[in-house]
C-alpha cells in the first residue's frame, strides 16, 4: 500500500485520474486504462415511469452549470461523474430495478438514490429505507449510498428538490470524486477481465458445445449398434420365413399336379397313352420352373426389403428332375396269357352262338358258324383290348405317383439350395455393408473426438492462462477495493 500511496501522493493534486490509474499500475504496469471515457455529466436514470425525466427537467433548470443526461444520451464506455438513481415512492424496488442500478453505476462511484413522488406517497421514508436495505444487501458498495426524497412534478404545489440539490453541490465539490469514479471503473473492468479468464479457464463457453459433441458421439455408436442388430435379425427371420413358405408352396404345386395327372390317367384313351409320358415330363418341368420363379420372386422381395441386391438365380446346369419312363412295354407274358384267355372266351362264345343259331334254324348251320366265329372273335379282341387298357391305366397311375414323389423331392431340394445360397450371398453383402457403415461412423466419431480434444486443449490452455494472469489482476482489484471501500483515511472520508 505504501507504494501506491507514494505514487498517488505525487499526482493526486494535479491529475486524479492518473492517481487512480497509479493504484493499479503499481501492481501490474501492463494495466494502463480501464477502457472508459470520463464525461463531466450527471446521469439521471431509473426504471420506467419512476420520474427520471421530471427530476432531470427540474435539475436542469435549478443547476444550469451542471450537465444532466438520461441514459440514452451516453454511449457505451462513457462514464458519468455522478449517477442519480430515481425510483418511485409508490413501491419498493424489484430485482430488475437493482440490475438497472448496477448497470448505471458501472463506472461511477458517486451514486445517489432518489425516491420520487414523495408528495403522493406519505410512507416514502419506509420505501426509501427498504430500497436502501435491498441495495446494501446486494452489494456492499451501496452501503454508503445517500438517499433523498423528491417531488419533481407534484400534483399540488412546488417541486421539492432542495435536499437533492444541496447534496449534489456538496458531493460534486469533493475533489476526490474523479479519482474514486476512476477506481470504480477499474473495479468493474478488473472484475470483468477476471470473470472472462475464469469462464475461459473453466471451459464454461465450451461446455454446451462439448455436451452436444458427447451426446452426438453416444448417439452415433448407439444407432450403429442398433441398426446392425436389427438388420441381422430381420435377415435371419425373413430367410426362415422364406424357407417355410417356399417349401409349402413347392409341396402344394406337386400335390396339385399329381391330382391333375391322376385324373387324366383315370380317363385316358389308348391313343393318348403314347403321348402321356412326354406330356407328364413337360408338366413336371413346368412345376420346377414355377417353383423356381416363386423362389426368385420371394427372395427378391426379401433382398429389396433389406435394401440388398437380388440374389443370383438357379444354376443353369441343374435341369428338370430325372424321371423314369412308365413300365408299359414289359408285359409279354401277361399279353400272351390274355391272348389265350381271350381266344378261349371268344371260342366259347363262338361255339355257343353257332349252336344257338344252328338249333334255331338248321338250314343256316354254315351261316351260324360264321356269325359265331365273328362274334367270338370280336368279343375276344374287346376283352383283350379293355384288359390291356385298364392295365396300362393302373401302371400309369402308379407311375404318376412315383414321379410326383421324385418331383417333390427335386423342388424341395431346389428351394433348400436356393434359400441357402441366398442366405450366404445376403449375409456376405450385409457384412460388407456393415463394414462400410462402421468405417463411416468411425470416421465421424474420430472427427468428434478430435474436436473434443481441441476443446480440452484450449480449455487447459485457458486455465493455464487464467492461473498466470488472474493473481496480479486479483491483487489489483483488492488494492482498488481497499482504496474505495476498505480504507477510510485513504479515501478521504
Ligand X SMILES: Nc1nc2c(ncn2[C@@H]2O[C@H](COP(=O)(O)OP(=O)(O)O)[C@@H](O)[C@H]2O)c(=O)[nH]1
- Contacting ligand X within 36-55 (CB under 6 A): 46, 48-54
Q: Taking the complex as a whole, how short is the minimal distance between the CB of residue 478 and ligand X, in angstroms? A: 37
**Window 417-456: contact mask with ligand X (x via CB under 6 A):** ----------------------------------------
**Window 155-194: contact mask with ligand X (x via CB under 6 A):** x---------------------------------------
Phi and psi, residue 155, nearest 5°: -65, -35
**Length of the chain measured in residues:** 493
Are the C-beta atoms of 291 and 249 separated by less than 8 Å? Answer: yes
The b/e string for 99-132 (b: 16+ C-beta within 10 A; e otherwise) is ebbeebbbbbbbbbbbbbbbbebeebeebbeebb
Comparing CB distances to ligand X, the nearer of 10 and 70 is 70
Position among 106, 117, 184, 298 found at the interface with ligand X (CB under 6 A): 117
Q: How far, CA to CA in Å, does 296 sit from each of 223, 242, 246, 299, 410?
A: 32, 11, 10, 5, 16
Q: Taking the complex as a whole, how short is the minimal distance between the CB of residue 212 and ligand X, in angstroms? A: 43
Distance CA 416, CA 243 (A): 7
Name the residue with cell 412326354. Answer: 278
Distance CA 115, CA 209 (A): 46
Q: For binding to Mg ion (CB under 5 A), which residues are involved?
A: 53
Site membership for ligand X, residue 115 (CB under 6 A): no
Name the residue with cell 499500475. Answer: 25
Distance CA 70, CA 74 (A): 7
Distance CA 473, CA 188 (A): 12
| Grid cell listed for 321 | 428332375
Q: Is 75 helix (H, G, I), strand (E, B) or coil?
A: coil
| Grid cell listed for 33 | 486504462
Count of positions on this chain that bind ligand X (CB under 6 A): 17
Position among 17, 153, 310, 452 found at the interface with ligand X (CB under 6 A): 153
Distance CA 308, CA 426 (A): 7
Comparing CB distances to ligand X, the nearer of 117 and 481 is 117
Q: Which residue is nearest to ligand X (CB)?
A: 53
Comparing CB distances to ligand X, the nearer of 116 and 188 is 116
Tell me how far apart the terminal alpha carbons of the chain are, to the nearest angstrom. 18
Q: Which residue is nearest to Mg ion (CB)?
A: 53
Comparing CB distances to ligand X, the nearer of 123 and 289 is 123
Site membership for ligand X, residue 90 (CB under 6 A): no
Q: Taking the complex as a whole, how short is the minimal distance between the CB of residue 126 and Mg ion, in angstroms? A: 25
Position among 35, 146, 154, 300 found at the interface with ligand X (CB under 6 A): 154
Are the C-beta atoms of 134 and 92 separated by less than 8 Å? Answer: yes
Q: Taking the complex as a whole, how short is the minimal distance between the CB of residue 491 and ligand X, in angstroms? A: 32
Count, in order, helices (H) and strands (E) of the chain.
12, 5
Comparing CB distances to Mg ion, the nearer of 100 and 194 is 100
Comparing CB distances to ligand X, the nearer of 50 and 353 is 50
Comparing CB distances to Mg ion, the nearer of 91 and 450 is 91
Stretch that binds ligand X, among 151-159, 212-220, 368-376, 441-449 (CB under 6 A): 151-159
Position among 120, 172, 347, 365 found at the interface with ligand X (CB under 6 A): 120
Comparing CB distances to ligand X, the nearer of 72 and 330 is 72
CA angle 429, 433, 439 (to 5 degrees): 150
Site membership for ligand X, residue 388 (CB under 6 A): no
Question: Residues interacting with ligand X, by CB under 6 A?
Answer: 46, 48-54, 116-117, 119-120, 151-155
Amino acid at each position: 500500500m505504501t507504494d501506491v500511496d507514494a505514487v498517488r501522493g505525487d499526482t493526486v493534486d494535479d491529475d486524479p485520474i492518473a492517481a487512480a490509474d497509479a493504484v493499479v499500475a503499481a501492481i501490474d504496469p501492463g494495466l494502463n486504462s480501464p477502457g472508459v471515457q470520463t464525461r463531466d455529466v450527471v446521469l439521471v436514470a431509473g426504471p420506467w415511469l419512476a420520474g427520471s425525466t421530471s427530476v432531470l427537467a427540474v435539475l436542469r433548470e435549478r443547476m444550469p452549470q451542471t450537465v444532466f443526461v438520461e441514459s440514452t444520451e451516453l454511449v457505451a464506455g462513457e462514464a458519468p461523474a455522478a449517477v442519480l438513481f430515481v425510483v418511485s415512492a409508490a413501491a419498493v424496488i424489484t430485482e430488475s430495478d437493482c440490475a438497472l442500478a448496477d448497470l448505471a453505476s458501472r463506472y461511477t462511484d458517486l451514486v445517489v438514490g432518489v425516491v420520487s413522488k414523495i408528495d403522493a406517497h406519505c410512507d416514502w421514508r419506509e420505501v426509501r429505507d427498504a430500497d436502501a436495505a435491498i441495495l446494501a444487501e446486494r452489494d456492499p458498495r451501496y452501503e454508503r449510498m445517500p438517499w433523498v426524497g423528491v417531488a419533481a412534478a407534484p400534483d399540488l404545489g412546488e417541486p421539492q428538490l432542495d435536499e437533492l440539490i444541496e447534496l449534489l453541490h456538496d458531493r460534486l465539490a469533493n475533489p476526490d470524486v474523479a479519482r474514486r469514479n476512476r477506481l470504480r471503473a477499474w473495479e468493474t473492468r478488473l472484475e470483468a477481465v477476471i470473470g472472462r479468464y475464469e469462464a475461459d479457464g473453466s471451459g464454461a463457453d465450451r461446455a454446451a458445445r462439448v455436451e452436444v459433441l458427447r451426446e452426438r458421439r453416444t448417439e452415433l455408436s448407439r444407432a450403429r449398434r442398433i441398426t446392425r442388430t436389427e438388420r441381422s435379425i430381420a435377415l435371419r427371420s425373413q430367410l426362415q420365413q422364406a424357407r417355410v413358405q417356399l417349401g409349402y408352396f413347392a409341396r402344394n404345386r406337386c400335390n396339385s399336379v399329381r391330382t391333375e395327372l391322376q385324373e387324366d390317367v383315370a380317363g385316358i384313351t389308348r391313343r393318348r397313352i403314347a403321348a402321356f409320358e412326354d406330356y407328364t415330363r413337360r408338366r413336371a418341368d413346368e412345376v420346377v420352373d414355377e417353383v423356381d420363379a416363386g423362389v426368385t420372386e420371394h427372395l427378391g422381395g426379401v433382398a429389396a426389403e433389406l435394401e440388398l441386391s437380388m440374389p443370383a438365380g438357379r444354376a443353369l446346369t441343374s435341369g428338370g428332375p430325372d424321371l423314369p419312363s412308365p413300365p408299359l412295354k414289359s408285359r409279354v407274358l401277361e399279353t400272351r396269357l390274355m391272348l389265350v384267355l381271350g381266344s378261349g372266351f371268344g371260342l366259347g362264345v363262338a361255339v355257343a352262338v353257332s349252336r344257338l343259331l344252328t338249333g334255331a334254324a338248321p338250314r343256316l348251320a354254315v351261316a351260324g358258324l360264321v356269325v359265331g366265329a365273328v362274334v367270338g372273335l370280336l368279343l375276344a379282341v374287346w376283352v383283350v383290348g379293355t384288359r390291356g387298357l385298364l392295365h396300362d391305366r393302373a401302371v400309369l397311375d402308379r407311375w404318376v405317383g412315383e414321379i410326383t414323389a421324385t418331383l417333390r423331392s427335386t423342388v424341395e431340394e431346389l428351394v433348400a439350395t436356393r434359400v441357402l445360397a441366398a442366405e450366404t450371398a445376403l449375409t456376405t453383402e450385409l457384412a460388407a455393408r456393415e463394414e462400410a457403415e462402421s468405417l463411416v461412423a468411425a470416421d465421424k466419431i474420430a472427427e468428434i473426438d478430435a474436436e473434443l480434444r481441441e476443446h480440452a486443449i484450449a480449455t487447459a490452455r485457458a486455465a493455464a492462462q487464467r492461473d498466470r494472469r488472474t493473481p496480479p489482476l486479483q491483487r489489483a482489484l483488492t488494492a482498488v477495493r481497499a482504496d474505495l471501500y476498505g480504507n477510510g483515511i485513504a479515501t478521504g472520508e
